[in-house]
Amino acid sequence: MVYNKAFGYKDVENKVPAAVDDHYILFSQTKAVTTIPFMTLVEKGLVPVDDPVSKYFPGISDQVATASKEDGAYQIFK
């Protein structure tokens, strides 16, 4: 173990401090986890940062979601 310290509160309203043995559920970390290796490839000059994702993943189209509608659907443009 190199560093072991907790910061903040696990219950802000009751001022209960966070502890190192607390467990948290994290959702939607895919972007954070994949951004680091991707930017490493960009820094090494192996991938241009402005390439479309569909160049590497053909199943993903070039569509862009620009807004969400009241019914939960997305307004999409090519």
1-51 pLDDT per residue, tens: 799 999 999 999 999 999 999 988 777 788 888 889 999 999 999 999 888
Q: What is the pLDDT of residue 18?
A: 95
Tokens of 45: 């000059």
Q: Are 20 and 4 in contact (CB under 8 A)?
A: yes
Kindly report the number of other CB atoms within 10 A of residue 46's CB atom: 8
* Residue 62 binned pLDDT confidence (cut-offs 50, 70, 90): low
